[in-house]
Amino acid sequence: MKLRSLRAVAVLAVGAAFALSGCSFKSTVSKEELEKQSFDVLTKMAGEEPAEVECPGPIDGEVGAKTRCVLTAKDGGRIGYTIEITSYEDNRGKMVVQVDETPMPPAQGNSGT
């Protein structure tokens, strides 16, 4: 996956459905579910799989909850994206994934020296 593929669709917000976990008082979306759903959405957006997606942890399963994640492309480039919960009902929800318009700077220490 090349970042150029994602930059072309960076302003698109793509929805995905997911199941929420937790009791009726406090539902959460696990880190693993966020990563799985965003991996699938980003693969569809770019037409090929990323090397990795990483989210910091679970988020509340409530409308408007957001988190920031990072996609690492197979060429080593990285780009951030936002996940926002847009609806949930009966422990089922929908989210949108919006990719940043510009890639992240190279990680420190990855200069190959």
Q: Tell whether 37 is covered by a domain.
A: yes
The range of the structural domain enclosing residue 74 comes to 3-99
Instruction: Give, rounded to a whole angstrom, the gap between the first and last alpha carbons of the chain.
Output: 25
pLDDT tens-digit series, residues 66-105: 999 999 998 899 999 999 988 877 767 888 888 998 889 8
**Angle at CA of residue 18, ends 68 and 20, nearest 5°:** 90
Total domain count, the chain: 1
Q: Tell whether 79 is covered by a domain.
A: yes
pTM greater than 0.85: no
pLDDT tens-digit series, residues 57-66: 999 888 999 9
Q: Tell whether 93 is covered by a domain.
A: yes
Q: Tell whether 107 is covered by a domain.
A: no
- How far apart CA 3 and CA 45 sit, in angstroms, is 11
Q: Hey, how many other C-beta atoms are within 10 angstroms of the C-beta on 112?
A: 4
Q: Tell whether 35 is covered by a domain.
A: yes
